[in-house]
Amino acid sequence: MIRISDIDFRYPSGEFYLSIPSLSITAGEKVAVIGPSGSGKTTLLNLVAGILTPGKGSVSIGNVEISSQHDRARRDFRITNIGFIFQDFGLLDYLDVQDNILHPYRITGALNLSSDVRERAHILAEQMGIADKLNRHPTDLSHGERQRVAICRALLPGPKLILADEATGNLDPKNKVHILELLFENVDRHNATLLAVTHDQELLPHFDNVVNFNEFLQTETL
Ligand code: ADP
Ligand code: MG
């Protein structure tokens, strides 16, 4: 499902350097990404999503080499095939919760906003415990509620790949396990693949595999 070969990545500014010789994730796998703060976990998710592109090497999702495509193609591929739960949620404050959840359907012709989709959006919101908040704006929600809106938005199109950047990080312990179970249920139902950054050691046994960033960390010799 995800194949990374021999990538190097640097931001235009700053010292950060990420090098990953090889990383493969099979379709249907649930993989946790762990590592110290600042080690590049979010950067990896952005490279997989095609938001960032590597300086060399390749990133492929299924049989699509996303890293060699143009901006527009990467964006369309991402919206239709990848559900990304961003670390900072990426919600739009000027839209209410319902319109945030439906937003992917409004920005690409590849997704069709039918009454069935609206109904599924409502069911998802109910499962996530935010159905009574659909007409509020993100600014009027708690951190944990905003996070659940971001999860609903990512899951609604039924993507084959879900990237979750600390998706349970701001939830209390009871909600954390509940939301993780819902996330896993959705992943299983769609035969999807999950790549999830987490700091929660106790959640690791729920995953099939763990990618530990300590193995990619290196000091550069100039
Ligand atoms: P993590 O998610 O593991 O905490 P990140 O992938 O967010 O780490 O960041 C890795 C490193 O890259 C950090 O040192 C961070 O400061 C740096 N970094 C992140 N974004 C940028 C950027 N846009 N420009 C320059 N450096 C960045
Ligand atoms: Mg991060």
pLDDT along the chain (222 residues), means of 10: 96 94 95 94 97 97 95 91 94 98 91 94 95 98 92 94 88 81 89 93 91 74 42
Angle between helices 115-127 and 143-155 (to 10 degrees): 140
Return the pLDDT at 53. Answer: 97
Question: Which residue, among 197, 196, 150, 209, has the nearest Cα to 37 in the 3D structure?
Answer: 197
Distance (angstroms) between ligand 1 centre and the Cα of 44 equals 10
pTM, 2 dp:
0.93
Determine the residue of 16, 33, 217 to mutate for testing ligand 1's pocket, defined as the one with the most ligand atoms within 8 A of the Cβ atom: 16
* Domains along the sequence of the chain with CATH: 2-217 (3.40.50.300)
CA 85 to chain centre: 4
Helix (H) or strand (E) holding 189: helix 173-189
pLDDT at 181: 87
